[in-house]
Amino acid sequence: MNETTTTPLETIIALRKEKLEKLKENGINPYPAAYEGTHTAAEIQKKYEALAIGESSQDIVSLGARMVSRRDMGKASFADLTDSSGKIQAYFKADFIGADSFKIFKEFADISDFVGVKGTPFRTRSGELSIKVDSWSFLSKALRPLPEKFHGLKDTETRYRQRYLDLISNAEVKDIFVKRSRVISAIRRTLESKGFLEVETPILQPIAGGAAAKPFITQHNALGMELYMRIAPELYLKRLVVGGMEKVFEIGRNFRNEGIDRTHNPEFTMLELYQAFVDYNEMMNLSEQLISAAAAELGAKVEFPFRRAKLFDLIKQYSGLDLNPPFEPGALLKAARSLKIDVPDNTPEKKILDHIFDKTVQPHLNEPCFVTDFPAVFSPLAKTRVDNSAIAERFELFIKGKEIANAYSELNDPQEQRKRFIEQVKDKDKGDDEAQPYDEDFILALEHGLPPTGGLGIGIDRLIMVLGDIDSIREVILFPQMRNT
């Protein structure tokens, strides 16, 4: 029995298992350990693109690839083979490979199998560059067919849960992740060319510091202690600057136990970097250079320099509200309700300001904009401005209405940092579960001297989204978090 488009999946799997057993009975190994090919599909396409219709090369080429379609015509078959580089057509004929080998191909080879082929390149009468197969072998016998007979996988739930099928079926999806890898490489090269050193800091941390977020909690059995999946590498990276590593960066995963939506995934990739003897103004310059390198890899057009605007000027521009820190008690709550933003009475003031900004300003930030001058009270790890201690030397970068980066002139006064941590603990006691914890070991490091330092964090996933014009973070993370089925 042959597979058809209407054959039930269970029947297809049973048929393929029967074929697998028959191959083994006939001494054919359907799962060899390796295959030595001479070219990729793309290399063959490029090297022999000059062949005219009906013309053959005398060169022998070989490659391993997945069979994604086939057309049988009596004692001959055409098959489309794909590898990571592209596609090439293979021509199987009993006269070339022998009657027995052709019979095995026709009866036992299925779409989605991996095969190795060896033969000579030629161009068919229809103009398609192909391989005239002299010999072939199984490389991996697939027990399940490709989705929808390789006509595309559209169900988003299946695409995210079985990303391997998505990559096989949708070339544009694979292209996103190839470009993502290139963007990360471009960022890394740019930083290394500027003398930055890539480092690794702990993912399991005894204190969940460095950001305002809820952590995931785990248990170290041997040590008998709770640990937290890191929400940010900030405090460890700044310890390295204390130790004399004046330009450091890390590209890695952070974990935040929060909601999932089009711009949030609990596990995400961040670039975080620190540079001694500069402030947040230099971090703006560096942001533009890094995003320029990333945009070049994606072929995205970005206009430089980016706009720079103060947070409360933007709020006034788009809402009419004249808000400036320090705030009177209840002022932010009153302002939110005047904008018909429904927030409970006990909402932390930082979150209230976030709601005001999200509703009134963020939708207008389509073009790249550094939003500067955040309240110092909501920025416990940042220096304050010399001319206004209520304002932090901090910015957030927005592109296409999405927050892409956050940066400070880093607070390096250990006594002031201690006071800030104490205030954060008070906020946590009042119900702010995202307030920073007190970290005495970090204070100890600051007491040994942290030079003036600029720090920058860029969300890699969101950067790929905005530069690639992609509307969901799940499209740029290979295995996004999903609910249990």
* Residue 79 within any structural domain of the chain: yes
Share of the chain above pLDDT 70, in %: 99
Which range is least confidently modeled, 36-40, 126-130, 151-155?
Answer: 151-155
Tell me: do 184 and 136 sit in the same domain: no
Which range is least confidently modeled, 153-167, 212-226, 229-243, 328-342?
Answer: 153-167
- Strand runs (DSSP E) across 209-266, as ranges? 217-220, 225-229, 247-255
Tell me: do 125 and 20 sit in the same domain: yes
Tell me: do 66 and 199 sit in the same domain: no
CA dist 470 and 80 (Å) reads 30
* Residue 161 within any structural domain of the chain: no
pLDDT value of position 47? 98
CATH number of the domain bearing residue 256? 3.30.930.10
Tell me: do 376 and 242 sit in the same domain: yes
DSSP 384-401: EETTEEEEEEEEEEEETT
When pLDDT is cut at 50, 70 and 90, the band that residue 212 belongs to is confident
CA proximity to 132, closest of 141, 123, 145: 123
Phi, psi of 263 (to 5 degrees): -120, 5
pLDDT single digits (tens) 42-61: 999 999 999 999 999 999 99
Tell me: do 46 and 103 sit in the same domain: yes
Tell me: do 173 and 128 sit in the same domain: no
Tell me: do 182 and 245 sit in the same domain: yes
* Residue 383 within any structural domain of the chain: yes
Q: Which two tokens stand for residue 139?
A: 């490389």
Mean of the per-residue pLDDT values of the chain:
95
pLDDT value of position 428? 87
pLDDT value of position 294? 97
CATH number of the domain bearing residue 62? 2.40.50.140
C-beta of residue 263 within 8 angstroms of C-beta of residue 272: no
CA proximity to 246, closest of 271, 275, 266: 275
pLDDT single digits (tens) 313-362: 999 999 999 998 888 889 999 999 999 999 998 898 999 999 999 999 99
pLDDT value of position 127? 97
Q: Total domain count for the chain? A: 2
Tell me: do 134 and 175 sit in the same domain: no
* Residue 297 within any structural domain of the chain: yes
Tell me: do 216 and 69 sit in the same domain: no
**Burial (Cβ within 10 Å: 0-12, 13-18, ≥19) of residue 69:** middle
Query: Which residues span the domain enclosing 176?
Result: 169-306+367-475
Tell me: do 191 and 128 sit in the same domain: no
CA proximity to 393, closest of 475, 471, 454, 302: 454
CA dist 230 and 227 (Å) reads 9
Tell me: do 91 and 41 sit in the same domain: yes
Residue holding tokens 């909601």? 259
Can you tell me the mean pLDDT for 245-250?
98
Tell me: do 113 and 179 sit in the same domain: no
When pLDDT is cut at 50, 70 and 90, the band that residue 169 belongs to is confident
* Residue 344 within any structural domain of the chain: no
